[in-house]
Amino acid sequence: MTDVRPVPSAHSPAEAAAKARRWGAFYYAEQVLRVMKGYTWSILMYSVGQPVAYLFAMGVGLASLVDTGSVAFGGVAYLAFIAPALLVSAAVMTAANEFTFPVMAGFKWRRTYFGPHASPLTPGQIAAGHIMAVTLRLFLQSAVYFAAVALFGASPSGWGWAGVFVATLAGLAFGLPLMAYSASITEDKGQFALVMRFIVMPLFLFSGTFFPLDNLPLAVRWIGWISPIWHGTELGRVLSFGYREPPLLTAVHVAVLSLLAVAGWILTRRRFARRMGQ
């Protein structure tokens, strides 16, 4: 007896368009994640290899030269003091990479944004899909990083795991405004290299990453005050080992990171719509 199976039928154009309008952001996020799959090993090495190397260098090397348990470092081991900063900094640097060159490629070099835009997907959905995929990468990377931190015993508090969410939010707080800027660039004249050298690296070095921000002179201390890395780091330290600071300041950290992320999202939507002619 012949086994006759029904032949699956394709969706009608109207049904396909309706699904795209409803789930378009998720469809584009899937596409970005499939592209990331092509360099999975690079992501794993960045997410696992770098954290272990940094933590070992700081926890075994530099920590031997630092007054461990000093009041200046919150009364904890130096490794516990810098671990939240390294977690947040890694997320911010990843966001800086994912929201610069790939965005430029989507508009100019590979023009990968315009194919989906020829379908019912809107510019806002395309931008949202890109952000969703990068957010997932930031979260998973931060989770792996925190696992390495926990193995080193550098997160004494039971709330240290919440630093994964803080790092993800800090990455978006820096990355989304940068994404809006990237979407406005029509010619590559080395702007991203300047961003990495004169914005990302100074923020990493002058955001209280390796020592309290108060140790810096006022002439450069303001860099930390406006830095998502500093706000994320201080919030992470509160969660990781109960770093003492006024509750109002903790609320300010959350507010600043949230406002930067929301403002960046709004600007990104506008830039994408303008760039794609809507």
Report the number of distinct structural domains present in the chain.
1
Q: Which domain holds residue 51?
A: 26-275
Cα 165 to Cα 88: distance, rounded to the nearest angstrom: 10
**Structural domain includes residue 58:** yes
At residue 14, the pLDDT reads 65
Cα 41 to Cα 153: distance, rounded to the nearest angstrom: 26
Mean pLDDT: which of 1-10, 64-73, 95-104 is highest? 95-104
Q: Is the pLDDT of residue 9 over 70?
A: no
**Structural domain includes residue 150:** yes
**Percent of the chain beyond pLDDT 90?**
57
At residue 40, the pLDDT reads 82
**Structural domain includes residue 7:** no
**Structural domain includes residue 21:** no
Are 46 and 138 spatial neighbours (Cβ–Cβ below 8 Å)?
A: no
Give 146 or 1, the one with higher predicted confidence: 146
**Structural domain includes residue 253:** yes
Q: Using one digit for the tens of pLDDT, what is the confidence trace for 12-39?
A: 666 666 666 677 899 999 999 999 988 8
CA angle, 45 then 50 then 55, to 5°: 145
**Structural domain includes residue 15:** no
**Structural domain includes residue 10:** no
pTM check: above 0.85: yes
Cα 129 to Cα 158: distance, rounded to the nearest angstrom: 33
Are 226 and 140 spatial neighbours (Cβ–Cβ below 8 Å)?
A: no
At residue 72, the pLDDT reads 65
**Structural domain includes residue 3:** no
Q: Is the pLDDT of residue 172 over 90?
A: yes
Average pLDDT of the chain, as a whole number? 88
